[in-house]
Each structure stands twice: as C-alpha cells, then as structure tokens.
Amino acid sequence: MPIMNRRRFLAAAAASAAGPAFGATPAPGQPDFIVIGAGAAGIAAARRIAGAGRRALVLEASDRIGGRCFTDTRTFGVPFDRGAHWIHIPDINPLAKLTPGTGLQINSTPPGLKVRIGRRSAREGETEDYLAALVRASRAIGDAARKADIPCSRALPTKELQDWRSSVEFVLGPYARGRDLSEVSAVDFARSADRDSEAFCRQGLGTLVVKLAEGLTVQLSTPVRGIEAWGRGVEVVTSRGRLTARGAIFTVSSAVLAANKIRFEPDLPKRYIDAVNALKLGSFDHIALELPGNPLGLQSDDLVFEKAESERTGALLANVAGSTLCVVGVGGKFGRDLAAQGEAAMVAFAQDWLTGLYGADIKKAVRRTSTTRWSDEPWVMGAMSSASPGGQGARRVLMEPFRERIWFAGEAVHETLPGTVGGAWESGERAAEAAMRKFGMVVEPRPEPRRAPSRRR
C-alpha cells in the first residue's frame, strides 16, 4: 500500500466532509468515464457510454486505433490483418451485426478446410480422420475438465490420435490459443464456446474497428502511467498530465497489466495480481508472402493445415480476400522462439515450410514479405490470453470492479469467448453498462405492478 501524501489526504478529507470528491461530478467538458485502450473492448465501452448520452474519453498509448486489430494497407496495397482476422460465430457476433451500417463487407469463409500430407492433398478419408481426431481430443479435454483443471495435453487420448497428434496439438493449442496445450487449462478450454463458423471483413477487421470508433473522442499517443482511486472518482495520470472522471474502464492487455506498466493507487489486491498472472498472453504471429499467379493453386481464403510431425508447423491462409497475399500463421513456444530470431528467420521458415508442401518453385514465386511480432509490441506484449492450468477462475476475478471505480474489460475478461474480438467487444459493453449502472446512469425498467386476482361472485 503506497503512503498517502498530503495532497491525497486533503482530497480524501474534503470528500468525506464536503460531499463529492474529484471526478464524482465532472466539470463541464470533462468525461464521465475514461476508457484506457482503444482496442475492440475500449471502443465498445466508449460506444455504449456515448449511446447513453454520457461522455467518454478514450486514451490510447499507441498512434492508432484498434489494438490487436490492425489492418495494414500500405505494405502490399491490399488489406493485411496483422492481428486478429476472423469474425467468429458471425450469426451472433456483435461486430458482424454492426458491420452493415459501416459500408464494409462481411464475407463467409469457404466451407471446410484443406490438409496437406507431404506434397499431396489429403484424401477424403484422411481429412475425415483428421477432423475426427480433433473431435476426440476436444471431447477428452472436456471430460477431464469435469474432474480437475489439468493441462490440456494430459487429457489427450494418445492411442486414438495416433499420428495426427502433432497436428491436433497445433490446431487446438498454438493456432487457437497461442500457447502449447501443456500450458492451457482444461477447464478454460472446455468453457470456451465452439467456433464452428467463421467470417471476415473484406476490408480488414482493423478497418472495421476504426470505422466503429468514428464519432468517439479518442486521444492517441497518450500512454497512461497510473490510475488513482482514493476518493469517489478516479484520477488518471498520463504522459500529458492528469485527468479526472467518475470512473475508468481498463482495457489494456493482461500482459501489460502484469508488467506493471501502469501503476494503481491503492495497489491492486493480490487476487487481481494472481488473476492477471494466470491469464498470460500466448504467441501468434503472421508471416505474409506475396505470391503472384497463384502458384499454390488454391482458392480465395482457403485455410490449409498439414499432417505435422513436430511442433514446427503452421497454418496457411491463401489468397486473402482474393488477393495474391498468402499468410502463414505460427504460434506457441515454437512461434515465439521463431519470432525472437527476427523477420529473416520467420520468412525463411515460411518459405521452407511451403516448399515442403508445394514444391521448390514456391521460393522463386515469392515477392514482397512482411511479418508480425506481437510479443515485441510494447503496449500489447503478446497475442491472445489463455488461462494456465488451475487458473480459469481468473477471468471471473477480473470481472469484479476495483474500488467500485475501475472496471476491467478485454478478451481476457470473457469466459466463453476468450481470445476473440467478439469476446473483447462484449466485455467492453458489459463493463460500460456496469459502470453506468453504478452511478445511476442506467435506469432499470420498473416491473409492472401485479394485479390482485379478481374474486368471482
């Protein structure tokens, strides 16, 4: 607990003696709430607050909106989602519902997926074996989760998976969660909603988030250094000075929170710290290759996996949105170690990997390249969150407001859609709703009075 200095003592004393403390009733022009982070959760929270006729100020440390949703249109001249790309479960996804009003386009992914076995495509029966192995593994993890929260890898049925095990471990672990299954909670895995349908925004998911931020007050290049919640409001310390508000909605990644880049006064209780440490960000990066002429012979947005023999594998998204851009995704421990070696090593792996699947001519076809390294992004520090074994309850802990003035939101604060933009969006809306309700800004509908039953005579 930090020592209360004279300024804070006087502020607290004034609050108890004279009524509203700083931030309790913002002065004209000041926000009702400060939203920290302009990713999907932060934009969702600010939209919900603005929709209720209240004032929200979004502070973003970087020079752009979107967080882990970042569409790059400069490198290749076509939309390249450097971060999140998929709109999971589009029938109920909040971003899919909002897209029609933006002028942007949602496309469905091609049905099914493709599997390579060496330099040939898997036969129909082999693809069915692969899909059956995924189902068996998922069911085994779910069964184990009902008994204990063990690492997912310990629940895998080795005999049933046979020589598909490496492929299954990659898809369920590094590809879907950014971490190897040995580091993932079985309970967290089991509680995640099935992502059995996918779509994407043709102009890029990052473009969609930026579009949805139009009309909001967003201040870029403004890192938050600290949040103080001593009185009835909050005081946010930024690189440009101090701001006050009724409350704050904190949407930065769990990795940034764990790194103590933003101090809290008073200190966060131990249960919050433990929760943050249990929700580590995994590693997932993109290696983009420009392949003119479609040398892979694939359709637009085909998703390709291989029958892997080790953890040195990836996933291929081909001809993104009908372009010549092909993206190889790598994750987990292998992906993290590869990214640490730098862009040249990442591109070399992608070229060698594709050569092993489609032949030596692929290297000659590659033109421009680009890679991501999300673990090196200072205000993100990773990909998606995944609960460590025994730590699934951490998500619920972060749903609790701190001192009834600070609410947490983001993909790490969603129990059934962790690691997804839809989950981050829903958690941002939920946090904003809770914050406004705390201050009486959301009026609950009154139940209609019950009528006494009439007596028949």
The pLDDT tens digits for 354-393 are 999 999 999 999 999 999 999 999 999 999 999 999 999 9
Same structural domain, 299 and 367: yes
Same structural domain, 192 and 304: yes
- How does pLDDT run across 200-248, given as a tens digit for each residue? 999 999 999 999 999 999 999 999 999 999 888 999 999 899 999 999 9
The pLDDT confidence band at residue 450, using thresholds 50, 70 and 90, is very low
pLDDT number for residue 445: 54
In a domain, 85, yes or no: no
pLDDT number for residue 27: 53
Mean pLDDT of 444-455: 47
Same structural domain, 180 and 294: yes
In a domain, 392, yes or no: yes
Q: Reply yes or no on whether the pLDDT at 25 is more than 70.
A: no
pLDDT number for residue 352: 98
Number of domains in the chain: 2
**Phi (first) and psi of residue 65, to 5 degrees:** -95, 145
pLDDT number for residue 226: 97
Same structural domain, 372 and 298: yes
Strands 284-290 vs 198-201: parallel, antiparallel or unpaired: unpaired
Same structural domain, 225 and 353: no
- How does pLDDT run across 60-118, given as a tens digit for each residue? 999 999 999 999 999 999 999 999 999 999 999 999 999 999 999 999 988 888 999 99
pTM for the whole thing?
A: 0.91
Same structural domain, 194 and 225: no
From residue 385, give the alpha-carbon distance in Å to each of 119, 157, 169, 188, 206.
Answer: 34, 25, 17, 11, 19
133, 163 Cβ separation under 8 angstroms: no
Same structural domain, 138 and 178: yes
Distance of CA 409 to the CA centre of its chain: 10
- How does pLDDT run across 105-158, given as a tens digit for each residue? 999 988 888 999 999 999 999 999 999 999 999 999 999 999 999 999 999 998
pLDDT number for residue 357: 98
Give the bridge partners for 318, in sequence order.
302
At 176, the amino acid letter reads A
% of the chain exceeding 90 in pLDDT? 86
pLDDT number for residue 113: 87
In a domain, 82, yes or no: no
**Phi (first) and psi of residue 128, to 5 degrees:** -65, -40
Same structural domain, 434 and 290: no
In a domain, 106, yes or no: no
